[in-house]
């Protein structure tokens, strides 16, 4: 447990902070996500992981199962939920800000009723299409305020090799800090 608390201290993870991660591969993605969530679980936080088809929901579940001790019990008690980013954020294949906000507000209410003090969440932006990018950037700015107001810890991951320079600047402008994996 001390190792996981050290993860939060090392990375400056505090309630109300909105982080980003750029990844080049699934290995990069999981290198940051697994310890991020393991620390949250050890801290008794409810964890929500929205995984894109790019990284694979089944693969994410299998990876978490293999790397996080007691993972299945966290899932069965509702402390950890892994869901499809596409199902969470999209309607008819397009980004739906209202749906995304409603989903996260409902999830927060649910975990609070279950007695969890805090939500730690991560969303994988591998699903974002070029046409939806401006909508996602507006959403990221709005959700940052919501994250602060609700003392959430949030990490947004984006496939850097698919981001334009403009999109990269947008991501940097919408998040407070970075969690870095392998360089």
The DSSP H or E segment spanning 7 is helix 2-11
Closest CA to 100 of 123, 120, 126: 123
What six digits make up the tokens of 85?
């980013």
Closest CA to 121 of 28, 51, 26: 51
Q: What is the pLDDT of residue 180?
A: 77
Q: What is the pLDDT of residue 181?
A: 65
Q: What is the pLDDT of residue 11?
A: 84
- Alpha-carbon distance of 181 to 175, in angstroms, equals 17
Q: Which residue has the tokens 């940097």?
A: 172
> 48 pairs with which residues across the strands?
81, 121
- Tens-level pLDDT at each residue, the chain (183 residues): 445 558 888 888 999 999 999 999 999 999 999 999 999 999 999 999 999 998 999 999 999 999 999 999 999 999 999 999 999 999 999 999 999 999 999 999 999 999 998 999 999 999 999 999 999 999 999 999 999 999 999 999 999 999 999 999 989 889 988 887 654
Angle formed by the axes of helices 133-149 and 165-174, nearest 10°: 10
CATH number (3.40.50.2000, 1.10.150.20, 3.30.70.890, 3.40.50.300) of 19-178 reads: 3.40.50.300
Could you give the maximum distance between any two Cα atoms of the chain, in Å?
44
Q: What is the pLDDT of residue 23?
A: 93
């Amino acid at each position: 447990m001390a190792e996981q608390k050290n993860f939060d201290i090392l990375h400056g993870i505090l309630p109300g902070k909105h982080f980003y991660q750029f990844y080049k591969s699934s290995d990069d993605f999981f290198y940051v996500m697994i310890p991020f969530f393991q620390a949250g679980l050890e801290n008794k936080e409810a964890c929500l992981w929205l995984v894109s088809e790019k990284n694979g929901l089944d693969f994410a579940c299998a990876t978490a199962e293999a790397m996080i001790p007691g993972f299945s019990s966290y899932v069965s008690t509702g402390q950890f939920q892994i869901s499809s980013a596409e199902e969470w954020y999209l309607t008819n294949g397009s980004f739906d800000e209202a749906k995304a906000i409603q989903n996260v507000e409902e999830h927060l209410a649910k975990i609070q009723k279950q007695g969890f003090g805090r939500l730690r969440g991560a969303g994988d932006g591998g699903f974002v299409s070029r046409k939806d990018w401006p909508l996602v950037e507006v959403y990221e700015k709005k959700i940052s305020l919501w994250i602060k107001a609700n003392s959430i810890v949030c990490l947004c991951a984006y496939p850097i090799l698919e981001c334009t320079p403009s999109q990269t600047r947008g991501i940097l402008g919408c998040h407070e800090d970075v969690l870095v994996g392998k360089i």
